[in-house]
Amino acid sequence: MEKKHQFNLSYILMAILGVLILQNLLMSQFRPRVIPYSEFIQAVVDDRVKEISIGDIAIHGKMKDANGNEFLFKTVRVDNDLATKLSEHRVKYSGEIDNTFFKTLFSWLIPISIFYVIWFFLMRRMQTGAAGMMTLGKNKAKLVGENDIETRFADVAGADEAKEELDEIVSFLTEPQRYQDLGGHMPKGILLVGPPGTGKTLLARAVAGEARVPFFAISGSDFVEMFVGMGAARVRDLFTQARDKAPCIIFIDELDALGKARGAGMVGGHDEREQTLNQLLVEMDGFDSRKGVVIMGATNRPEVLDPALLRSGRFDRQVLVDRPDVNGRKAILDIHAKSIKLADDADLNVIAQKTPGFSGADLANVVNEAALLAARKHKSAVGLAELDEAVDRLIGGLEKKNRVINPKEKKIVAHHEVGHALVAALTPGCDAVHKISIIPRGLAALGYTQQRPTEDRYLMSQQELFSKIDVLLGGRVAEALLEKEVLMEDEFNAMIETGNAADSNHA
């Protein structure tokens, strides 16, 4: 592109130079004849001057030559006193006029050159910039070649059911004839649904890596622009490229940014985002899935998507990518722990049990934080203490060892946390107490009591709910027993009676 601009620049400059030279030649026929000032004076004496125009530095006019032919003349003004003296001494004198051809030439070339340089850089910026006018209609999808994707299903853990669902997509992309012989076809769109950080994008890349096909990755917000029609143009351009690269995968991350339900809270009849969504719906209806173009989307808010986007023939298959269970968390920790050096006491099963509800991204952060803590302590390997500390940092926040707390408040916090721990230890069905701390963490936690569940739970009985309530109230009851000024006596007695009533209900 740059050589083409240089080629055009040379021809433009040559054309401008030729026009100026031609103009100079044509105008030379009508230019006045430059004569010496002494000749002008002599013509005045001989009555051959018809008319003159006196300027600041020159005299223009019309006069006759010796043969009586009229012509235009020009001469430089000379001081009259000096002319008289020179005439008395018979000195031939004349004035000089600067050659204005090159001045005129440069007066044209310099502005034109400045204009062209500005135009050249603006065009180059627009063509190469992400928001350039020449590329507004081009999609912003990042194309990854089939040989550049190194992610495989073995790199994804904690989502076994999702991998089984997506394995059909891999089989269709690698062996499409097997499905076509039976008259079947794969769904045009697969929507990955799940909380943030559960590995939806990683799964999409793993599908492309297993099938060894090109992978178009783009975010839903990349389609929406301030210019009307640009989002729809990018959708058309994306599907055009995908058809040329088939078989391939189009992955639209954060689909809810593009596919929100139309008309929800919008004022007015036109909306650029709705126009972009309409174009996406049309494109999904228009292409043939037998050509091997599979569209995958990811969102953590499927409830806000437009119903037309989820109907049959579009994103009609939804794959849930949920938070991993204890076995999944252990598998994820094993994958991320390959990149660090673990000590002999680093038991990942303990960390997997301590992290219910953690996503894959959270677990990756735990391993990375543990490695940073070990490096800060100048250790040669990451041990269980660093992994445990990393989990506490993610749950409770940064430990504030230097916060100044008076001894009385420390004592109250210690009584409070011990109350939680004692009730948890003495109440049947409660998770075992793992750690007690009175070191402040985060914004407002002055201490905490940590329990470690031995398994993931999805249901809870009434007795287990009452046991959790007892543990939560245990800290306050301990303060009431050991710090009389914390609660009024009647409030304390009411709490004791409530606890006795709850114990009788349990029995």
From residue 102, give the alpha-carbon distance in Å to each of 17, 21, 31, 105. 11, 10, 16, 5
pLDDT > 90: percent of the chain: 7
pLDDT > 70: percent of the chain: 75
Kindly report whether the peptide bond that precedes residue 428 is cis, defined as omega within 30 degrees of 0: no
The count of other CB atoms within 10 Å of the CB of residue 402 is 6
Q: Cα separation of 41 and 92, whole Å?
A: 11
Task: Calculate the average pLDDT of the chain.
Answer: 78
- List the chain domain ranges: 2-101, 142-320, 326-396, 407-506
Residue 13 has pLDDT above 70, yes or no: no
Per-residue pLDDT tens over the stretch 283-341 = 887 666 666 788 899 999 888 888 888 888 788 788 999 999 889 999 999 999 988 89
CATH architecture designation of domain 407-506:
Up-down Bundle (1.20)
In the prediction, which pLDDT does 192 show? Answer: 92
In the prediction, which pLDDT does 140 show? Answer: 58
Higher pLDDT, 115 or 97: 115
In the prediction, which pLDDT does 60 show? Answer: 78
Which of 187, 242, 244 minimizes the C-alpha distance to 215?
Answer: 242
Band of pLDDT at residue 396, cut at 50, 70 and 90: confident
Enter the pTM of the model: 0.63
Q: Cα separation of 209 and 48, whole Å?
A: 98
Q: Cα separation of 336 and 313, whole Å?
A: 38
Residue 3 has pLDDT above 50, yes or no: no
Q: Cα separation of 369 and 361, whole Å?
A: 12
Residue 81 has pLDDT above 70, yes or no: no
318: which residues sit within 8 A by CB, 6+ positions away? 190, 191, 193, 302, 310
Band of pLDDT at residue 1, cut at 50, 70 and 90: very low
In the prediction, which pLDDT does 186 show? Answer: 73
Residue 28 has pLDDT above 90, yes or no: no
> Across residues 188-195, what is the average pLDDT?
88
Which of 50, 46, 52 minimizes the C-alpha distance to 66?
Answer: 46
Band of pLDDT at residue 368, cut at 50, 70 and 90: very high
Give 455's DSSP letter.
S
In the prediction, which pLDDT does 4 show? Answer: 46
In the prediction, which pLDDT does 304 show? Answer: 87
Residue 15 has pLDDT above 60, yes or no: yes
- Helix axis angle, 230-245 relative to 272-286, nearest 10°? 20
Please tell me whether residue 467 adopts helix, strand or coil conformation: helix
Which of 162, 151, 237, 212 minimizes the C-alpha distance to 192?
Answer: 162
In the prediction, which pLDDT does 446 show? Answer: 85
**Hey, what are 195's tokens?**
């909380």
Contact 166/173 with Cβ under 8 angstroms?
no
**Hey, what are 423's tokens?**
């009730």
Band of pLDDT at residue 193, cut at 50, 70 and 90: very high
Class of domain 326-396: mainly alpha
In the prediction, which pLDDT does 6 show? Answer: 45
The count of other CB atoms within 10 Å of the CB of residue 368 is 14
In the prediction, which pLDDT does 100 show? Answer: 60
Report CA torsion sign: 333, 339, 343, 344: positive
- Worst-scoring range by mean pLDDT, 290-299, 365-374, 383-392? 290-299
In the prediction, which pLDDT does 436 show? Answer: 87
Higher pLDDT, 151 or 19: 151
**Hey, what are 245's tokens?**
């690269």
Per-residue pLDDT tens over the stretch 234-284 = 888 888 888 888 788 889 888 888 888 876 555 444 467 788 888 888 888
In the prediction, which pLDDT does 2 show? Answer: 44
The number of residues making up the chain comes to 507
Contact 51/72 with Cβ under 8 angstroms?
no
CA-atom Rg of the chain in angstroms: 43
Residue 367 has pLDDT above 90, yes or no: yes
> Across residues 59-66, what is the average pLDDT?
82
From residue 341, give the alpha-carbon distance in Å to each of 226, 332, 334, 344. 49, 16, 12, 10
Please tell me whether residue 95 adopts helix, strand or coil conformation: coil
In the prediction, which pLDDT does 507 show? Answer: 42
Q: Cα separation of 157 and 334, whole Å?
A: 9
Band of pLDDT at residue 5, cut at 50, 70 and 90: very low
Residue 494 has pLDDT above 70, yes or no: no
In the prediction, which pLDDT does 269 show? Answer: 40
Higher pLDDT, 313 or 368: 368
* Exposure b/e, 56-77, CB count within 10 A at least 16 = b: eeebebebeeeeeeeeebbbbe
- Worst-scoring range by mean pLDDT, 451-465, 469-483, 486-500? 486-500
The catalytically annotated residue of 146, 417, 455, 485 is 417
For this structure, is 455 an active site residue?
no
Higher pLDDT, 243 or 96: 243
Which of 134, 111, 112 minimizes the C-alpha distance to 122?
Answer: 134
**Hey, what are 410's tokens?**
């420390």
- What fold characterizes domain 142-320? Rossmann fold (3.40.50)
In the prediction, which pLDDT does 372 show? Answer: 92
Give 453's DSSP letter.
-
- Worst-scoring range by mean pLDDT, 362-371, 385-394, 478-487? 478-487
Residue 218 has pLDDT above 80, yes or no: yes
Higher pLDDT, 214 or 89: 214
Residue 493 has pLDDT above 60, yes or no: no
Higher pLDDT, 178 or 476: 476
In this structure, the strands spanning 293-299 and 189-193 are parallel
Give 456's DSSP letter.
-
In the prediction, which pLDDT does 363 show? Answer: 92
- Worst-scoring range by mean pLDDT, 147-156, 297-306, 384-393, 416-425? 147-156
